[in-house]
Structure 1
Amino acid sequence: MTPRTTPPSRRSRANGDGTVYQRKDSRWEAAGYVLAPGNTRKRVHVYGITRKEALAKLTEKIAASNRGLPTAAADSTVGDYVTYWLGTVAVHHLRENTHTRYAACIRLHLIPGLGTKKIARLTARDVRTFLDRLRTTCQCCAQERDTGRRRCCAIGQCCGKTLSPLTVTYVHSVLKSALEHAVREDELPRNVARNVKTATPRPRRFRPLTAAEARQLLQTASSDRLHALYELALRTGLRKGELLGLHWEDLDLDAGTASIHRSLQRTRTGGLTTLHTKTRASERRIALPTECVHSLKNHRERQQEERRAVGARWSDSGLIFTTPIGGPLDPANLTRRFGRLLRCAGLRRIRFHDLRHSTATLLLEQGIDLVVIKELLGHAHIGVTAGVYAHVRLRLQRQAINALGDALGTGDDDPDDPPAAVVVR
């Protein structure tokens, strides 16, 4: 007898492989059991335009479940889902320090505020109410953190400290990212957090150094062993981590260039660790000013003297800016050194990162094109550069308007005289 052939859509599947069938709306649906948070098994449903697509999605989920990775189902709570998302999804594409901030955000705000809510029943109103509560409620009172410390509401004197708009926006963005993954995985039909609009927080105000203050700082730092670092920071706008992560092999002092492709950061698990730069756009090659080339050559000679002085105790890390025995410089220690340098120079207190802002501000005031500044600073988009330094652009606009006013003002010229040629830069 000739064996009967079964149509592909009705072919039987082995136990544990789930089921695949076509819906009335012509889409294909696949269902199967996978591991869920809490060491339980849940039946999940995935969808596709074709049978092959739906089956591939289900196979991927079952394979991940067989490797011990839980798959959150739609009846999970928000707390369970964001914990699953952070530990099995976000951990693979976030830098460690960013992952640590996400974990703190989830632990301190999302789980206490929305943790018991079923993710499938979460509404835009729930999210908006939660964010409004973060803005207006003292969190140490709301979460009873003050009870054990005998502070705040525990003694009848509420501190009234609420989260800043920037922190509230950050909490909102973490929730949006987690729910967006649930939508991509067909666990939710839509991301309700995207329907909630939060006010754009005001950018941090900073007061960059003026040209006179920058010269005063460099003059004071001329006797410091890290003079070359401060020179680079002010003349090139490199980030703190990029400066501390520079190796001698990254420099070409004869050509006067530097390649920026790594950053030194302190992480919770690895301590001082060399990582990739902040973004892909941060990987760049910059031209070094003549003053930086001279100071770097002097710094190399001083480093060689320090190496001979300590002998076998020298740690050959290849870094340009090191401790007196060759080890990497801790970013926190550099911040403290910079604070002492400001006091010695008689300057107001600023952040080390404000040196980078000072570089960009001084360049803009000299009329340097915004595109050139974007490439030098390593911003991903020119909109970032334009947005951060909008206050400088307004000042330049006023100068341009005043110049135009002078040109259009009344004078003794004959009105019939032809206009003089003007060079537009």
Structure 2
Amino acid sequence: MATPRDTSPSRRVRANGDGTVYQRKDGRWEAAGYVLAPGNTRRRVRVYGTTRKEALAKLTEKIATSNRGLPVPSAQGSVGAYLTYWLDAVAVHHLRENTHTRYTACVNRYLIPGLGKKKLAKLSAKDVRTWLNQLRTTCQCCTRGIDARRDQPRCCAVGSCCSKRLSPLTLTYIHSVLKSALEHAVREEEIPRNVARNVRTGTPRPRRFEPLTADEARQFLTAAQGHRLHALCELALHTGLRKGELLGLRWEDLDLDAGTAAIRRTLQRTSTAGLTTLPTKTRASERRIALPARCLQSLKLHREQQEQEREAAGTTWQHDAHVFTTPQGRPIDPTNLTRTFTTLLRKAGLRRIRFHDLRHSTATLLLEQGVELVVIKELLGHAHIGVTATVYAHVRLRLQRDAIDLLGHTLRNPDEISGKPDDGDEPPLVGAAVR
């Protein structure tokens, strides 16, 4: 008499559409089910795990994503299809809006035209390296049709290529976006390895900047005297805060009695929400800093001035508790702050620099005064001290030269220094003058 077989854990009956889970001969567990694929089709996917629960969780996640209408990419699909899926279903939830906009522009402008037609599963490190080398040597004015869209062509269309090539920094950025997308494909077990990681683009030279000298900084602050944003200029030069951090400050973040400021947020303009307040750039950027006496005095005067503007505005005042606002109480647009900054530079008779160079000026002046790198790192809110050391390597080199000159002066024969024997009455040289 035949007896029904006992249902083993690996052959449990699951509801229709939930897929199947079973144990393989090698001991691993495999789960398989149908999900939505690009092109509004359905395909069977397989995932693996060391336990039944792990394999089932991976399959459930893919089916849930499919049920939300998001197609699960296939390694048989193209690189372009996967990049589109990655931007729309993954990166959009983990990146800030402005960063996602830059990633989208990078994908649509460079990655999809260059690698989009290749199969994801067949993409090799050689393909990536060849494409990057071609991108490095190609005139972008010709490739992207910029010259063809001009009213009066002046490049390839007239037989005179301008050789407008991408900078090493831009190439590194494009490479990093591709690496991020392929890394997620590895995590989703679409491809076995990230081939972009095997390609080296070289380390680009850090962007050169021209910080203000101590004399120029004093000229700038003198020109800002009497301006309604004088306190902002003082704070920018004394603390090195980013533009968004300055504009995102609220009065509740300041403790003028204790002389401290809590940096918790940043103000940015996005394409969908307009001016919006966001968390700081990184977790390390959220910090508490000390305020010098000069800034405390400026902020107290600024608060009195803001109260006068509030009374003058009357019912049109829009109270949002920001420290730096327009005369009507609204947050200041970062672009408008840049215009004001350029006007103050022109008034001071200084060369034109970026507002972010005030931050570089703060760090450079502090380094030249002998402040330790770790203190500057905490003040600027860098995530790692290596970032601080790399950005300001040129300043450290100059300080090394001063230190070597100081040592050479110490090791010289006293007769060569004074022309007479040292009687021991003169104090030793302990430091080099700050340039």
TM-score by length of 1: 0.94
Aligned equivalent of 2:289 = 286
Distance 1:422 1:161, change over 3 A: closer
d(CA) in 1 for partners of 2:235 and 2:19?
61
Alpha-carbon distance, 1:46 to partner: 1.4
Query: Quick check: 1:64 aligned with 2:65?
Result: yes
Matched-pair contact (CA < 8 Å) for 2:24–2:30: yes
d(CA) in 2 for partners of 1:37 and 1:21?
27
d(CA) in 1 for partners of 2:39 and 2:225?
60
User: Among 152, 177, 199, which residue is 1:174 paired with?
Assistant: 177
Query: Quick check: 1:47 aligned with 2:34?
Result: no
SS at match of 1:43: strand
SS at match of 1:70: coil
SS at match of 1:275: strand
Amino acid at match of 2:241: L
d(CA) in 1 for partners of 2:407 and 2:81?
62
Alpha-carbon distance, 1:406 to partner: 1.7
d(CA) in 2 for partners of 1:133 and 1:23?
45
Amino acid at match of 2:83: V
Alpha-carbon distance, 1:398 to partner: 1.1
Aligned equivalent of 2:27 = 26
Deviations 1:254-284 (A, max 9, x none): 1111110000001010111111110001111
User: Among 273, 279, 302, which residue is 1:299 paired with?
Assistant: 302
Amino acid at match of 1:195: N
Amino acid at match of 2:379: L
SS at match of 1:89: helix
Amino acid at match of 1:84: Y
SS at match of 1:26: coil
Instruction: For structure 2, list consecutive stretches of 5 or more residues without a partner in the other structure.
Output: none
Aligned equivalent of 2:321 = 318
Distance 1:218 1:148, change over 3 A: closer
Aligned equivalent of 1:36 = 37
Query: Quick check: 1:352 aligned with 2:347?
Result: no
Amino acid at match of 2:41: T
Deviations 1:322-369 (A, max 9, x none): 111111111011111111110110111111000000001111111111
Matched-pair contact (CA < 8 Å) for 1:141–1:153: yes
SS at match of 1:372: helix
Computed over aligned residues only, the root mean square deviation of the Cα atoms, in angstroms, reads 2.2
Query: Quick check: 1:260 aligned with 2:263?
Result: yes
SS at match of 2:45: strand
Distance 1:145 1:117, change over 3 A: farther
Aligned equivalent of 1:147 = 148
Matched-pair contact (CA < 8 Å) for 2:285–2:381: yes
Aligned equivalent of 1:403 = 406
SS at match of 1:131: helix
User: Among 213, 218, 228, which residue is 2:216 paired with?
Assistant: 213
d(CA) in 2 for partners of 1:213 and 1:157?
42
Amino acid at match of 2:225: S
d(CA) in 2 for partners of 1:381 and 1:220?
35
TM-score by length of 2: 0.92
d(CA) in 1 for partners of 2:191 and 2:50?
17
Alpha-carbon distance, 1:194 to partner: 0.6
Q: Is 300-309 or 4-13 further displaced after alignment?
A: 4-13
Aligned equivalent of 1:108 = 109
Matched-pair contact (CA < 8 Å) for 2:141–2:163: no
Figure out how many residues of one structure are paired with residues of the other and give that number.
421
- Counting only pairs closer than 5 Å after superposition, residues 109-124 of structure 1 correspond to structure 2 as 109-124=110-125
Amino acid at match of 1:48: G
User: Among 332, 337, 362, which residue is 1:334 paired with?
Assistant: 337
d(CA) in 2 for partners of 1:134 and 1:15?
49
Alpha-carbon distance, 1:145 to partner: 4.6
Amino acid at match of 1:166: L
Matched-pair contact (CA < 8 Å) for 1:323–1:329: yes
SS at match of 1:282: coil
d(CA) in 1 for partners of 2:25 and 2:309?
78
d(CA) in 1 for partners of 2:222 and 2:90?
50
d(CA) in 2 for partners of 1:157 and 1:383?
44
Amino acid at match of 1:326: G
Alpha-carbon distance, 1:135 to partner: 0.9
Alpha-carbon distance, 1:68 to partner: 1.4
Aligned equivalent of 1:160 = 163
Matched-pair contact (CA < 8 Å) for 1:13–1:19: yes
Alpha-carbon distance, 1:168 to partner: 1.0
Matched-pair contact (CA < 8 Å) for 1:112–1:143: no
d(CA) in 2 for partners of 1:46 and 1:421?
73
Amino acid at match of 2:54: E
Matched-pair contact (CA < 8 Å) for 1:234–1:359: yes
Matched-pair contact (CA < 8 Å) for 2:410–2:429: no
Alpha-carbon distance, 1:14 to partner: 3.4
Aligned equivalent of 1:78 = 79
Alpha-carbon distance, 1:146 to partner: 3.8
SS at match of 1:367: coil
Q: Is 41-50 or 383-392 further displaced after alignment?
A: 41-50
Deviations 1:93-122 (A, max 9, x none): 101100000010011111111111111111
Matched-pair contact (CA < 8 Å) for 1:47–1:186: no
SS at match of 1:273: strand
Aligned equivalent of 2:392 = 389
Matched-pair contact (CA < 8 Å) for 1:221–1:227: yes
d(CA) in 2 for partners of 1:28 and 1:286?
53
SS at match of 2:6: coil
Amino acid at match of 1:87: D
Q: Is 61-70 or 374-383 further displaced after alignment?
A: 61-70
Alpha-carbon distance, 1:414 to partner: 9.6
Alpha-carbon distance, 1:148 to partner: 4.1
Instruction: For structure 1, list consecutive stretches of 5 or more residues without a partner in the other structure.
Output: none
Distance 1:36 1:410, change over 3 A: same
Aligned equivalent of 1:380 = 383
Amino acid at match of 2:84: T
SS at match of 1:400: helix
Distance 1:2 1:421, change over 3 A: farther
SS at match of 2:215: helix
d(CA) in 1 for partners of 2:351 and 2:32?
64
